[in-house]
Amino acid sequence: MKPLNSGSYPHRESGAVAVMVALLLVVLFGFAALAIDVGNAYLVRGQMQNAADAAAHAGANGLARGMAIDAAKDEAKDYAEKNGFKDGSGSAVVTISIPPGGSESYATNDQYVRAVITRPTSLILGQILGANAWQIRAEAVAGVTGNTGYPDCLTLTNGITTNGNAYDITLDGCSASIGAAGGVANNGKGNFVLNNDAKINIYNNGTNTACPGKTWCSKVQTHAEPMIAPQAPSYTDDIDALKNQTPTTCSGSTCSPGRYSTFSYTGNTSLSLSAGHYWFDNGIELKGGASIQGTSVTIHLPSGKNISTSGSAQLKISGPTTDGCPEGGVVIHYHGSGSSVNDLIGGNGGQLVEIKGIVYAPQAELAFGGNPKPKFYGSVIANSIKLNGNVHAEFSGNPCQHHYTNSGPGQVAIYE
């Protein structure tokens, strides 16, 4: 019998251990790669979900502002892109559906938006096993709830005062919100015409001496809570630089954007404002048959200055257009300061005033007398309105440019 060679066993064991260590290292490397892949997938999924939430919310908010469906879809995709997921870029696919579809109760409701984002994410372990990527998916649905009527085309931080025997204020396709104790003070025999379920909402327990006894009084609602404060507009243009420019003048009947130290015209002068921003150091004065027309313009008025019209003067201007909205953004911006209230647009006579867009002037008053028929399409945000005489003021809806207060279309909420 051969003796056992005891020295051969350690070599066998060391070889077996080496094989086991190698196998364990492969397993550990696999687990590490899997952990990295899963962690990366969760990270991308979280970012993608945030983008889907933002996209759905933005689309629904667009619908709440009156955007058309295609424009709301574009708005949603813009917000997905702002959050890192551009449709068609880096294999990302962003799908926006209005109505959202599906099996939920709101599947066919065109006030709801579904945002779905998909994109593959590369794998470390997958490359070893022959799978290059995982497909990551995130989804969100947002909708408009609590709709209580039309949004506001007239927002007053104080109130309405009327004097006269034949005045009327028409709200067509929009509502009015009045934010303080001024309320509605009717000292004449005029009337409010509230079309298409328009309402007047008075906040802070404001007064309403215009009722009772009028057919429209049932559409006036008083609230104890404060009105949501209007937000000041912002611009891509440098308005501070604009008001410090060297003053310019009109060339013939055409005026270009810029700063004007004097802008007073009378007689039959007819002027055209080219598109852009204007700063009027001393406001605008139109007398007799003088007229101004302009499209895609924004007029800036410093504190204490206004637009004065008298006689048969005419003012017909519209703000810059925005995506999905037929009529524009800010057309008049009053840069008021302090606590005093200044007349913004006013005058006496039969002047014609037609303004389309947003009028932002929470420290100014709209004051008209005589027989004018001022027309505003969009949002008027002012301190108050004062009408004297046979004034016929009309405020019509431009849904894309409304300010929303408590009486607006409710809240935009994420549903899934």
Closest CA to 386 of 169, 152, 151, 219: 169
Long-range contacts of 186-190 (CB under 8 A, 24+ apart): 186/162, 186/210, 187/161, 187/162, 187/163, 188/162, 188/163, 188/164, 189/164, 189/165, 190/162, 190/164, 190/165, 190/166, 190/387
**Cα gap 85→292, rounded to integer Å:** 45
pLDDT per position as a tens digit, 163-181: 766 567 888 877 888 876 5
Token output for 272: 């055209």
Token output for 220: 């006036």
**Cα gap 299→333, rounded to integer Å:** 6
**Residues forming a β-bridge with 336:** none
What phi, psi does 311 have (nearest 5°)? 65, -130
Would you tell me how many other CB atoms lie within 10 Å of the CB of residue 373?
A: 16
54 and 142 Cβ atoms separated by less than 8 Å: no
Q: What Å distances lie between residue 128 and 32, 34, 124, 350, 406, CA to CA?
A: 13, 11, 7, 83, 58
pLDDT per position as a tens digit, 239-284: 889 989 999 999 989 999 999 999 999 888 999 999 999 999 999 9
Q: What Å distances lie between residue 50 and 9, 36, 37, 79, 300, CA to CA?
A: 61, 21, 20, 10, 38
**Cα gap 22→28, rounded to integer Å:** 10
Q: What rounded mean pLDDT belongs to the chain?
A: 78
Q: Domain residue spans in the chain?
A: 12-145, 152-410
Token output for 172: 């067509």
Highest mean pLDDT: which of 53-62, 76-85, 387-396?
Answer: 76-85
**Size of the chain in residues:** 416
Helix (H, G, I), strand (E, B) or coil at 359: strand
**Cα gap 400→181, rounded to integer Å:** 29
**Cα gap 373→383, rounded to integer Å:** 20
Q: At which residue do the structure tokens 């999905």 appear? A: 324
260 and 279 Cβ atoms separated by less than 8 Å: yes
Token output for 202: 């008075």
**Residues forming a β-bridge with 272:** 254, 293
The single-letter code of the amino acid at 17 is V
55 and 76 Cβ atoms separated by less than 8 Å: yes
* pLDDT for 43: 79
pLDDT exceeds cutoff 60 at 340: yes
Q: Where are the alpha helices (DSSP H) in 65-150?
A: 69-82, 125-129
Is the overall model pTM greater than 0.75, yes or no? Answer: no
Give the DSSP letter of residue 6: G
pLDDT per position as a tens digit, 11-69: 555 666 666 766 766 666 666 666 666 767 777 888 888 899 889 988 887 776 667 78
Lowest mean pLDDT among 117-126, 257-266, 293-302, 371-380: 117-126
Closest CA to 382 of 160, 91, 68, 133: 160
258 and 238 Cβ atoms separated by less than 8 Å: no
* pLDDT for 96: 95
**Cα gap 72→110, rounded to integer Å:** 11
* pLDDT for 153: 81
pLDDT per position as a tens digit, 154-163: 888 887 877 7
